[in-house]
A and B are shown apart, each in its own frame.
Chain A
Amino acid sequence: MNLGYTMKVVRIDKKNWVGDIENLSRSYRLFGPVKDDNFHRFEELDKDKLPDLDYFNTRLSPKSIVYPQSETMFEYCLDERKKDHHVMKEASKDYSQRAVIGIRPCDAAAFLLVKRNFDTPECKDPYWVKAYEATTFVGLACNNPHSACFCTTAGCGPFHEDGLDILLIDAGNHYFAKIITSKGENLLKAAGWDTKVDAGKEIESMKQNAETGITSFIATNKLKDKITADLFDAPFWEDMAFACINCGTCTYACPTCWCFDIQDEVHGCSGTRMRNWDSCMYPLFTLHGSGYNPRNTGMQRVRQRFMHKLKYYVDKYDNGIQCVGCGRCVSLCPVNIDIRKICNTMNSYEK
């Protein structure tokens, strides 16, 4: 529940940070960024391990905290001597309360985009929804965005609050914590953060400062009015897609890519049904049982990825593009396919 206009801010002294996190770990499973060679990644924090908030962003998005790359759904036994053989049983999961500390606003906003797919009135993905609902998102505002960040033109921003329960703002010796939802309020109590402050002006000025630090932009204003078939048949795809090697790096790194594949694996007499991330970059993604593949070429698959994010999604949900501007696909692509360039080309394309 959003608390609306009653903005509440508390000050968290960094001196007490270690103890505060310890408090939190008593009532939450904690996840946070940790350093791994040159990069950070999100992982579950063992007791006594602190989230490393001196970071830019993680190499892969934190989507796996709610939506793991491989997730067991059912387990079964094929041994006919056993009573419950050939019966699918729900795999046991830990949906106890968890909190992600230090998630960037873009990554938190990405969960809301994915929610439009996994949590609808018609269909609720039980695993995603339960995990999402069990999670409290404690964001960390970006005081120093990078040059590949284009969040402000992707419906997001360095101090964006949608999708967060609390927004932390690093102000030197202390953090300001802006409470956004009742989930956030609960976490606040568990941590023992209660030094209320009136920091509205200071936060606003830091926010404006951060926003001016964003130097990369995309134009999306005309995407909605484009005729889908015109974009689909546009001549620029051959040139744009040439370099693409059709690996799944962009889709796996992306916080908003949600596609999966369901697989059964049997070892001896015990089997599991799991789902694994899948990628529209792969030929197998669309291969029909007949052997026919409607997206048989690399170019068709590249086009699909960008048409989905920047046109089909826009048309279907009428709520912007399926991208939060985190810049991971741009930074990690082995051959420098750049969604910003493709988005601008699509947006300005005239048949």
Chain B
Amino acid sequence: MIEYINKIKEISERLLKEGIVDIIIGFRKGTMPMMNEPCFAKSPEDIKNLVWDSNCGINLANYLTNYSADRKEKIGIIAKGCDSRNIVNHIIENKIKRDQLFIIGVPCKGMVDRRKIVSIFEREIKEVTEEKNKIIVKSDGFEKILKKAEVLQENCAICIHRNPVVYDELVADLVEEQKDVDRYEDVRRIEAMPVEKKYKLFDDLLSACIRCYACRNACPLCYCPTCFVDESRPQWVGKSINPVDIRTFHFLRAFHCAGRCTDCGACESACPMDIKVRTFTKKLEKDCFELYGWEAGMSLDERPPLDTYKFDYPD
């Protein structure tokens, strides 16, 4: 996937030069191993800094509207499968217009889970590089080669929409989609649990939460001008680390994302406390799929099931 970068740079440079877009939203190399920083590029100098590798898990669709509500310029955005589905979400939710965007589509081969790599390596990681299907992890005088497939983010391992669903230009040929993937094995396992066990599981999951809201803020769906937990007149939710308030935040946020979540994994990758936040969103994703045959962000021409009604919908 690292080979994409030349094409990304070439397209970006052309778009800026020809005035087709005013800025490009992409990634530049981070200062820590396995970290890249979302950035914008406006000049050929900026373009030089763009990178693409298996550490681009942050969903760039988040940068289209959340932090740039007044952006009027034409935006070029680098989009892997999930980013493109969140762009579709933005468009059908009237957050941005399709013709304001030039989507540079990236057929994705999955992003790596840096926490998983850290836990395998067991010493301080100084440098991580990649080659085709291998991740090479280095410390002082120590090296380990990992198979990329074994250290993918969990959502990437079960992804069935790696190719962008909308794009104006592709950086490479489309990749083969993963088949025969059981996307909901974990959800079924939790569904089958007795209530007390489920409750305990959720409590344990959320026990580390510090309410920093990184999950919410990394999520392209969470664009409310004032989130319900921040509303102060009247105030709906307590501000302490009381478990009831923490649960309220996570459960309600998941419900707000029902029928919209693309399982991009940005929430989990952002969480500083390693909370498996997707446990909640995936259940609702599964329900939407089973009840309505719906997968979020796949089409610009169809309304989401939760903002429309059809006679054949189940109760």
Contact = CB atoms under 8 A, between A and B. Distances in A.
Nearest to A291: B233
Given A248-B210, A282-B230, 18 more contacts: A37-B119, A38-B115, A60-B210, A242-B38, A242-B39, A243-B38, A243-B39, A245-B66, A252-B272, A263-B238, A298-B67, A299-B67, A334-B271, A335-B37, A335-B38, A335-B270, A336-B37, A338-B32
Contacts of A336: 30-32, 35-37
B148 to A, nearest CB: 20
Contacts of A37: 119, 274
Contacts of A36: 208
A297 B70 CA distance: 11
A332 B67 CA distance: 21
A346 B236 CA distance: 40
Contacts of B39: 239, 242-243
* Interface of B: prevailing SS: loop
A64 to B, nearest CB: 10
B308 interface: no
Given A69-B241, A245-B270, A341 B31 contact: yes
A43 to B, nearest CB: 12
Contacts of A146: 124
Contacts of B270: 245, 247, 334-335
Interface of B: 30-32, 35-40, 58, 62-63, 66-67, 115, 118-119, 124, 126, 208, 210-214, 216-218, 226, 230, 232, 238-242, 269-274
A334 B58 contact: yes
A261 B32 contact: no
Contacts of B210: 60, 69, 248, 252
Interface of A: 36-39, 56, 59-60, 69-70, 146-148, 239, 242-243, 245-249, 252-253, 261, 263, 265, 274, 276, 279, 282-284, 287, 297-299, 330-332, 334-338, 340-341
Contacts of B32: 148, 330-331, 336, 338
Nearest to A340: B31
B238 A38 contact: no
A299 B213 CA distance: 17
A210 to B, nearest CB: 15
